[in-house]
Structure formats: structure tokens, C-alpha cells
Homo-oligomer: A and B are copies of this chain.
Amino acid sequence: MMQKVDLIIKARYLLPIRPQHHVLDYQAVVIDQGVILDVLPVDDLNDRYESNHVLNLKSHVLMPGLINAHAHSAMSLMRGIGDDMPLMPWLEQRIWPVESQLVCDQSVRDGTRLAVGEMIRGGTTCCNDMYFFPDAAADTYAAAGFRAVVGTPVIDFPTAWASDIDSYISRGIEFAQSLADQPLISASWSPHAPYTVSDVSFERIRQAQETVNLAIEIHLHESVAELQPSIDAHGVRPIERLDRLGFLNERLMAVHMTVVTDDEIARVAEQGVHVLHCPESNLKLASGYCPVERYRQAGVNVALGTDGAASNNDLDLMGEMKTAALIGKMVAEDATAVPAAYALEMATINGAHALGLSDQIGSVEIGKQADLIAIDLDYLETMPMYDLMSHLVYSASRWQVTHSWVSGRSLMQNRDLQTLDLDELKATARTYQQSIEAMIHGS
């Protein structure tokens, strides 16, 4: 007897990532009520499932949606406002002056919407966001049907979002509790960095965890510049300090982690810390070389992020896979390091692990949410093809992504956005461009 289901996607190639990490030919993914009900050869389909919605992807690979493990989405409004600048002039002359005039509930909604549009078009279906006004960002993700973990910020200076630590904590708790009915959105604590968050503030987060038990995301060991100030102020390097404060565990998402000793790698491996690697940001800001292969050999879970569009300058996780694989080899001085298959894991299942969502997403497995993308390989740029995974990492582009689903809901179909209005996004970008140009030039 045939089972009626919501959607059947047939694909020339399937890359499930888990349970097996190799390419399967002519597979069908059967989706009902947002969940992957079955994965089976197309030939076995006809006598088992039927649907009013059957899609046949003749030259595509179907795979899990990419997970952008570190983004500052609303900063898409500031894409490229300051390049080829050192970190402090970039912050002091460009980012902070603009942010001081720009950041509010509405601009976070608008900037996040631009980012979601770009991410969907590039094959990303979930992101881990760290910015201000997390409630505005969360609304935006939910409205677009996009999955997100949204960090609620903690930083030791006043911003438009909160004026002091009491306010950061109380607004954070309120934000986390507001998400109870949001299936796609969850919250994390996002203390900005060791050098902008005091021990007192970390202690306040620890106490708040008794009310809302969240993952923690922090920029950590981004560059050598943050090490000596930590030693001066706290007597130890930031990783050691976080350990003493009780944060060095499997709930910690440590962003960047470029400058580390063998002992520190062993410690984060042992304590289950997740590393969120942003290779293009690290290179562009000359922050440091992240030793991905050493983390991998030590058993550390490494996920992949774009960082914000103001410092990257895109939210292109396929590009980030290529960069991670390329620079990872050179850093390891070994052409076999960070192979294509591992780059694909960083951008999918490892991101899911880091975000605490690996029971729901990160692979095409029965019982998981149907967060999927399709990439068309019928382009000169990916021909001939001897190894599909290699092509996804080294040759294909986000411009070849054609379809996207989150929990079975279509977000993009043949490159047409389904939950966002592309013309409206472009008009929004143009409007902000004018006002931000005025801010930069002080007029």
C-alpha cells in the first residue's frame, strides 16, 4: 500500500554526510511534516510512496543545508565599508561610528533580512548569529523560515541594546524565554570576547544559566594581541581563564582560536569545546592561522563560519569551504590535510554538533528535519567530474545552488526566493547604502 507524503525529491546524486559520507546515485528523499521519512533508491520508490509534490533534480546533488556557524548577520548593511585596514582603525574609524548611528531594532531586522537572502542563495539554511537586538533578528529568521541560533550579547559597555550588565542579562533571559514557541530559533549567550567581558559579567552569565540553560559563544584567541592583556589582567591566557570561570566545556563555541599551544588544543579536545573557524576573516584581518588539521587530529569538533559581511565580505559558506581546505593544507604543510570530505563535514554536521542541533540537522538521515539544498553540477565549471566532493569544495560556486528547504518548506526554487522578496531586499540595500555613506562622510 502506497503512503501519501508531502514531498519527494529525486536527485541524480545524494551526499548524505551521515550515516555514510560518500556519494549515492539516483536517490529519493521522502519528506513528510517537515521530517525526512525515508531515503531510498529512486527505483524502489514507486510502490512505496506517492506525493502531489515530486521534484526530479536531473543533474544535481542533494545534500544537507549548509550551517554558517559564525555570522554577524545584520552587518550585511556594512558590507565592505572598510577594507585593507588593521583591526583597530577599522573598528574606530568605520564600524563603531556607523554602528553608533545605525544599530536599532529596525536596522537589525533589515540587515538580517539581507543576510538571510544572501545565505539562502548560497546554500546556507542555518546560521549562528551574534549581534545586537537578537529579538529583532530572531523575528526576521522566523519570518523567512530560516533556522538560526541567535546569540544574546554581553559586553562591558553600553550599546543601543542594553546599558549595563544587569540589562544585558535581563534582556537576554527575556529573549531566550520568548523563543519557547519558535521551532526554528534558539538562543545562546554571546559574551563578545575575553577582553570586553569582565569576570563579574561572566559570573552573571553563569548565574543566569540556572534560569535559561544556553550554549555560550565567544570570540576566543582570535589573534596574538589578546593574549598579553589577559596575562596582565588575569595572570593567565584567555582559554585558561575561561576554564577557571567554568565555561570550558561542550556548551562552549569558541570562535577563531588561531593562536593556541599544543596543551590548549589538548584541553579543548578533552573538554569538548567546539571551534568555529572563519578562515577568510582570519586572513583578511591578518589575525592568525587556525590549525584546523591539528584540531581535527586531536578530535576537536571544528565548524565553519563566514564572520560578518563587514569583514569577509560575503556570507558564502561554499567559498569558505574552499578557503578552509586550501589554507588548512598550507598551515599543516601537508597537501593531504583538511581534505574535501572534511571541509563538507565542517560546513554541515560539525556545525550541527557545535550548535547542539545534531539530532535535528547536518545530514540527510531518516528522522532529521528536512533542511536540504540542491546544487546543479551541469556547468562547464564543474566538468568533467571525477570526484563530486572535490568539485563541491574546489570547483563549484554558491551560484550553482538551485533549491533550498528548511523543515521541508521551500526557501528557494530554481534560484527564486520563496519566503523573501528579492526586489525588496535590493531596494532596502540601496536605501541603507545612501544613509550609511552619509554617516561615513559625516554629512
Could you list which residues of chain A lie within 8 angstroms of chain B, going by C-beta atoms?
77, 79-81, 83-87, 90, 114, 117-118, 121-122, 280, 282-286, 288-289, 309, 312-314, 316, 319, 322-323, 325-327, 329-330, 332-337, 339-340, 378, 380-381, 383-387, 390-391, 394-395, 397-399, 422, 425-426, 429-430, 432-433, 436-437, 440
Instruction: Determine how close the nearest CB of chain B comes to the CB of A407; give it in whole angstroms.
Output: 24
Contact across chains for B386 and A80 when beta carbons are under 8 A apart: yes
Instruction: Determine how close the nearest CB of chain B comes to the CB of A340; give it in whole angstroms.
Output: 6
CA distance A339 to B83 in the complex (A): 8
Q: Shortest 10 CB-CB distances between A and B: which pairs?
A: A384-B433, A383-B429, A84-B339, A283-B326, A399-B399, A313-B394, A80-B390, A286-B335, A83-B390, A286-B329
- Selected from B81, B381, B440, the residue in CB contact (under 8 A) with A314 is B381
A-B contact pairs, 17 of them (CB 8 A): A79-B383, A79-B385, A79-B386, A80-B385, A80-B386, A84-B339, A118-B381, A121-B381, A283-B330, A284-B394, A286-B337, A313-B394, A314-B395, A383-B430, A384-B432, A386-B437, A399-B399
The interface residues of chain B lying within 8 Å CB-to-CB of A327 are 283, 327
CA distance A152 to B433 in the complex (A): 50
With CB as the reference atom, state the residue of chain B lying closest to A114: B380
CA distance A397 to B282 in the complex (A): 20
With CB as the reference atom, state the residue of chain B lying closest to A315: B381
CA distance A316 to B433 in the complex (A): 29
CA distance A429 to B432 in the complex (A): 45
Contact across chains for B340 and A83 when beta carbons are under 8 A apart: yes
Contact of A336 with B86 at beta-carbon distance under 8 Å, contacts A81-B386, A326-B323 already known: yes
Instruction: Determine how close the nearest CB of chain B comes to the CB of A422; give it in whole angstroms.
Output: 7
- Selected from B85, B378, B390, B437, the residue in CB contact (under 8 A) with A335 is B85
Instruction: Determine how close the nearest CB of chain B comes to the CB of A363; give it in whole angstroms.
Output: 21
This protein's copies in its complex: 2
Contact across chains for A384 and B340 when beta carbons are under 8 A apart: no
CA distance A114 to B325 in the complex (A): 25
Contact of A282 with B330 at beta-carbon distance under 8 Å, contacts A336-B85, A391-B313 already known: yes
The interface residues of chain B lying within 8 Å CB-to-CB of A387 are 80-81, 83
Contact across chains for A380 and B121 when beta carbons are under 8 A apart: yes
Contact across chains for B330 and A380 when beta carbons are under 8 A apart: no
CA distance A327 to B289 in the complex (A): 10
The interface residues of chain B lying within 8 Å CB-to-CB of A399 are 397, 399
The interface residues of chain B lying within 8 Å CB-to-CB of A430 are 383-384
- Selected from B80, B282, B340, B378, the residue in CB contact (under 8 A) with A84 is B340
Q: A80-B394, A313-B391 are in contact. List 17 more A-B contacts (CB 8 A).
A: A79-B386, A83-B387, A84-B336, A86-B336, A121-B381, A284-B326, A284-B394, A286-B330, A286-B333, A286-B337, A314-B394, A319-B322, A383-B433, A386-B437, A397-B397, A397-B398, A397-B399
Contact across chains for A312 and B394 when beta carbons are under 8 A apart: yes
With CB as the reference atom, state the residue of chain B lying closest to A394: B313
The interface residues of chain B lying within 8 Å CB-to-CB of A81 are 386-387
Contact across chains for A313 and B80 when beta carbons are under 8 A apart: no
Instruction: Determine how close the nearest CB of chain B comes to the CB of A107; give it in whole angstroms.
Output: 12
CA distance A104 to B262 in the complex (A): 51
The interface residues of chain B lying within 8 Å CB-to-CB of A90 are 335
Instruction: Determine how close the nearest CB of chain B comes to the CB of A423; give it in whole angstroms.
Output: 10
The interface residues of chain B lying within 8 Å CB-to-CB of A79 are 383-386, 391, 395
Contact across chains for A84 and B391 when beta carbons are under 8 A apart: no
The interface residues of chain B lying within 8 Å CB-to-CB of A322 are 319
CA distance A84 to B394 in the complex (A): 11
CA distance A425 to B381 in the complex (A): 11
Instruction: Determine how close the nearest CB of chain B comes to the CB of A12; give it in whole angstroms.
Output: 13
- Selected from B85, B117, B329, the residue in CB contact (under 8 A) with A380 is B117
Contact of A383 with B426 at beta-carbon distance under 8 Å, contacts A329-B284, A334-B286, A335-B86 already known: yes
Instruction: Determine how close the nearest CB of chain B comes to the CB of A349; give it in whole angstroms.
Output: 19
